[in-house]
């Protein structure tokens, strides 16, 4: 049984009562199961679930505080720009039947455009 804390030996505490789960200190999440408390960055989980949208929660988790409107707008724009799909990929998806399984579409993508695959010459 290991009962060493992170600070003293550089390892996480292992508690067999956790059923093989190691515990650690976190600046992001606080859990007190006995009291029914779950906080993310100091905000109760129910407050985040009912009063914030997905992107606002992402901002809070990354930055530790709620964004101002200007910060939120900039964050939303940044996330949106990184989630845009190239037009060629959109055309690729339209080449498959509407009822195609998503995994089949993803597996079929290299077959559709084999030049996009990096191959090793032997």
The full set of domain ranges for the chain reads 6-67
The phi-psi region of residue 103 (left if phi > 0; otherwise alpha if psi is between -120 and 50; otherwise beta) is alpha
What percent of the chain is predicted at pLDDT more than 90? 43
State mean pLDDT over 83-100: 85
Q: Which residue has the higher pLDDT, 107 or 59?
A: 59
Taking the C-alpha atoms of residue 97 and residue 4, their distance in angstroms, rounded to an integer, is 56
Do 1 and 16 meet the contact criterion of CB atoms below 8 Å apart?
yes
State mean pLDDT over 101-115: 72
Do 57 and 51 meet the contact criterion of CB atoms below 8 Å apart?
no
State mean pLDDT over 107-115: 62
Mean pLDDT of the chain: 81
Structure tokens belonging to residue 2: 């290991």
């Amino acid at each position: 049984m290991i009962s060493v804390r992170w600070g003293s030996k550089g390892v996480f505490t292992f508690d067999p009562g956790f059923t093989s789960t190691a515990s650690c200190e976190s600046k992001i999440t606080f859990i007190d199961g006995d009291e029914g408390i779950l906080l993310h960055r100091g905000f109760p989980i129910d407050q985040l679930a009912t009063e914030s949208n997905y992107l606002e929660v992402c901002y809070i988790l990354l930055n530790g505080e709620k964004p101002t409107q200007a910060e939120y707008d900039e964050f939303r724009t940044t996330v949106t720009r990184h989630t845009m799909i190239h037009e060629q990929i959109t055309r690729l998806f339209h080449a498959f039947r509407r009822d195609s399984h998503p995994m089949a579409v993803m597996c079929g993508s290299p077959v559709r455009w084999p030049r996009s695959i990096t191959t090793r010459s032997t």
